[in-house]
Chain A
């Protein structure tokens, strides 16, 4: 499992990975690297800064209003992402500060027998408390790496985080409302909304089968503390395995409907071309001939302790660290290459925190020789799905799970 000297010598001899020392980045460029990988649009890198929203540590500012702030990669060396470093993503800029005592959740809809309202205290007291560890990842994480670039929030690697979410099962809440047999989708709305009346409010639906999955919860805590304002206080939906577009923040309304919900953010946005991605979970009531709503996350991995241009000391054992995750099947294997993909060896997987959590992994490099190495990591999940080597281009830049290539210097 450990990388040995022979492997490095072989890589050097074939010239696959060694590019001399000319590629060492300038100090200024190295300082910039935290703002995003060099492949982001030039304007996205230039307009990014580290800035702190109230209650947050400095994160990578992509846009101020609505606030879109990305977590720097180094935070992903921890199993769970700290609440004050967790990424922030909003579509619309009217974001109320919510008084928990005044908050109410409306549960009902035309496909529910008995609509009702809940206070936060009732939600916590009247339903069984559960916990699920799950990755929350924006559908467009890594959009900035799309080639060609596509418009949108130009995320690097950090529109994601992993947390232990505490709340109640959505299925228990829906059971109290009594779903009619014709219930087709469950529609979520949150307290945040548009500045202009004409702008479509951010409203999302999930199929009933996913809503009543025992892992889908209404969360009021993450990592043992109340949700931060910017992550959906006081209650958000957690849809483990599915991209964060369904994880409605500042939840105020859960409605059962018997027809496909037709709001803009379902019907037009968050769509992927059919047949291009190895997706298992389908959202059939929302499918068209051409496209389908995004659903589960594709298998992916990230190297968390190195970046493009990292320099490692020669002669000292080094460790490559990272994380791997998918839509909830769990990790089977992570392989690492230090010779630009010519050869691969398995990484050592860390503790299994649950199939919806990411899985940490490490890969030891013993006695590395001076040179430049192209380090890559590739995850495979328990149903045999693996990462893409070539981008599966789509107009909104979703599902980017292209294997990273980091040029790392040993000197």
Chain B
């Protein structure tokens, strides 16, 4: 729905969007998802939860090593546009490697 210049998004998109966003359906309850306790957990939650539920992290375990988790975090920042402060990146990666990484 984001406007896409290349394909010429139609003018009706804006009002439709407003109409439609008025009633976002409630999802099944993601609050049941609990990450493992450990240093950096709050930084991970604060940076990741805006765009996706935290179950993406345990789902992708245990098979990523440090390089793999670094690549995932980098993709979220560079490709998906996650606004992660540079000083938070090593904190996030360290937490993921320690708690959900292949040692």
Contacts of B100 in A (CB 8 A): 43
Tell whether B19 is near chain A: CB-to-CB under 8 Å: yes
Contact B59 A199 (CB under 8 A): no
**Closest Cβ of chain A: how far from B6's Cβ, in Å?**
7
Minimum distance in angstroms from B77 CB to a CB of chain A:
10
The main secondary structure of chain B at its interface with chain A is loop
Do residues A196 and B80 form an inter-chain contact, with CB atoms below 8 A?
yes
**B24 and A151 form a contact (CB under 8 A):** no
In the complex, B38 has a CB within 8 A of chain A: no
Are B20 and A191 within 8 A (Cβ)? yes
- Does A178 count as interface, using CB distance less than 8 angstroms? no
Q: A108-B8, A151-B68, A252-B1 are in contact. Are A199 and B51 (CB under 8 A)?
A: yes
Q: How far is the CB of A236 from chain B (nearest CB, A)?
A: 15
Binary per-residue interface labels of chain A (306-337) against chain B in the complex, 1 for a CB within 8 Å, 0 otherwise: 00000000000000000000000000000000
B33 vs chain A, min Cβ distance (A): 7
* Interface residues as binary, B1-44 with A (CB distance below 8 Å gives 1, 0 otherwise): 11010111110110011011101111111101100000000000
Whether the pair A54, B26 counts as a contact (CB closer than 8 A) is: yes
Residues B10 and A117 in contact, CB atoms below 8 Å apart: yes
Q: A319 to B80: give the CA distance in the assembly, Å.
A: 48
The B-contacting residues of A in range 242-261, CB under 8 angstroms, are: 252-253, 255, 257, 261
Q: List 13 A-B contacts (CB under 8 A).
A: A41-B63, A44-B61, A52-B28, A53-B27, A64-B27, A97-B23, A106-B13, A151-B64, A191-B1, A191-B17, A203-B4, A252-B16, A255-B8
Q: Which residues of B contact A257 (CB under 8 A)?
A: 6-7
Known: A47-B33, A187-B7, A203-B7. A96 touches B20 (CB 8 A): yes
CB distance from B34 to the nearest CB of A (A): 10
Closest to B49 in A: A65
Residues A67 and B6 in contact, CB atoms below 8 Å apart:
no
For A196, give its contact among B17, B21, B50, B61 (CB under 8 Å). B50
